[in-house]
Chains A and B, each alone.
Chain A
């Protein structure tokens, strides 16, 4: 009997522990997903009551939709420009915060500040910083005689500005995630390394990074997912216009979805784009996972 209970506990209890997640998810995550899939097979005007079944016509249309591919391409390039510096900076920042400091709480709180500040305030301020005629960045460029840049109109410049906004908002967040993982690295490893004369940077690369690999993998996947869903920054940068610039030069996938769904009220086609986006993120995350786990093995 005791043996039976023991085996039940061992084999059965894990399901009990993960059940709450799957129960809530089934109701509030899965249902919307399936429903969206159903909608994507229809000609479905958002506020109209008649919906015509069109099969996969929306998907065929999406496949030939240059604006969709443009948005995908923009999303990828903004993702690369924002994620890599963001994670590297977060790692260094976490390493610094992990040292013995005066007033550690204060500095950690400071790292969180960008994330606490409301998106609306951030957008307003960044729009001013990257203004063409009176923006702070162009003012500084002017001081050094480097001319000025019309940040919004160029493809690269607008995407750089948006990436800067994303980096600014999320670096501290990732740094705290790294910091939590670093705290679990046994201190005596560092003490031993110090005795061997390892520099702070060597300690970071030789001890910390190997020790917190799962967390690094975690942040890479999370920021891939987050990067695919960037919406607020390009929307607000473009002055609330959903097209992301006159030439859609900074329209991301999410923004395109938003334009189709909530500006054109074409719920069917927006759902199609959402499902396509879902598929793309899954593929991206899988590739990501394969690469990272291969790196880990080697």
Chain B
């Protein structure tokens, strides 16, 4: 079993490691066969160049603000709506859920032009709101929570709570939220990651003066001759905070999963 896991670690980690190899050399390693597998000495020089070229500190902070806001909002609203769809009976429930699933099927790239017009009207262009507000809810999240809560919260528990005189919001707070923790943790992680790595929309609506990390990366990946070691250094600078964050929170998130399991 551990052999299987080590293979997994190798496959998953290889491209990241390879980015580090390129980032620590210069462009010419891309033309070498066999390519070097050790680290070069240029990494810190490249980091210095990256920070000189774009305002990375500001970009990291902006990305952090954007991703955190989106994550909190998505997890909260998704759990709330997921609870309603999974456990409450109301008219039009199935049709509305189907509608939510349908909204995921809208191809996103073409929405850019009308969405941009909307942002221009509300004067959000160039501000972080333009990235946060449209992503505050997620059909994926609602659907995910609805599917999860169906099984994870036993109906008997809710009936008991109702017999005790709980209204729905207290049921949500005392019964559903604790049971939803493992799914909320995963949803939170996925949402944070997606928000952090999103580049298509931020690139259109933000300016390099007020960038997220992905916008800053576009500034790094430049011109006629792309400097791959510089842009891969940039991607490492953009990825490491995610790793550190998940590493630090990982225990709590996993802890949350366990706790939820015990209660469920």
Binding site for B on A (CB under 8 A): 6, 9-11, 13-15, 17-18, 20-22, 24-25, 27-29, 31-33, 35-36, 46, 93, 96, 99, 101, 104-105, 107-122, 124-126, 128, 134, 168, 172-173, 176-177, 179-181, 183-184, 186-187, 211-215, 217-218, 221-222, 225, 228-229, 231, 254, 257-258, 261-262, 267, 270-271, 274, 277-278, 281-282, 285
Contact = CB atoms under 8 A, between A and B. Distances in A.
A21 B235 contact: no
A36 B100 CA distance: 19
A278 B137 CA distance: 20
A33 B109 CA distance: 11
Contacts of A271: 110
A18 B85 contact: yes
B225 interface: no
Nearest to B80: A17
B101 interface: yes
A113 B13 contact: yes
Contacts of B107: 229, 254, 257, 274, 277-278
Nearest to B85: A18
Contact of A231 (B78, B109, B172): B109
B84 A14 contact: yes
B106 A120 contact: no
B144 interface: yes
Q: Which of A13, A121, A257, A262 gathers the greatest number of chain B CB atoms within 10 Å? A: A121
Given A116-B239, A119-B197, 13 more contacts: A14-B89, A15-B90, A18-B80, A21-B139, A24-B137, A117-B19, A121-B16, A124-B232, A125-B18, A180-B182, A187-B261, A274-B107, A277-B107
B105 A282 contact: yes
B159 to A, nearest CB: 13
Interface string B79-97: 0110111001111010010
Given A15-B90, A222-B140, A282-B105, A21 B100 contact: yes
Contacts of A112: 189, 193, 246
Contacts, number: 245
Interface stretch (B50-58, B61-69, B250-258): B250-258
B264 to A, nearest CB: 4
B144 A212 contact: no
B163 interface: no
Q: Which of A18, A107, A112, A181 gathers the greatest number of chain B CB atoms within 10 Å? A: A18
B260 A27 contact: no
B152 interface: yes
Contact of A20 (B77, B114, B140): B77
Contacts of A285: 101-102, 105
B197 to A, nearest CB: 7
B15 A117 contact: yes
A2 B231 CA distance: 64
Given A121-B16, A176-B189, A258-B109, A18 B84 contact: yes
B12 A111 contact: yes
Q: Which of B113, B254, B260 gathers the greatest number of chain A CB atoms within 10 Å? A: B113
A116 B88 contact: no
Contacts of A212: 151
Contacts of B14: 125
Nearest to A20: B77
B12 A225 contact: no
A31 B118 contact: yes
Nearest to A97: B5
Contacts of A261: 109-110
Given A32-B114, A176-B186, A180-B185, A254 B109 contact: yes
Contacts of B30: 128
Given A17-B84, A285-B101, A172 B254 contact: no
Contacts of B185: 180
Contacts of A281: 105
Given A17-B81, A128-B30, A180-B257, A111 B110 contact: no
A122 B15 contact: yes
B142 A110 contact: no
Contact of A109 (B85, B142, B250): B250
B143 A218 contact: yes
Given A21-B100, A31-B114, A105-B254, A183 B182 contact: yes
B5 A120 contact: no
B105 A25 contact: no
Interface in B1-35: 1, 4-5, 8-9, 11-16, 18-19, 30, 33, 35
A36 B193 contact: no
Contacts of B190: 173, 176-177
B43 interface: no
Contacts of B179: 184
B52 to A, nearest CB: 21
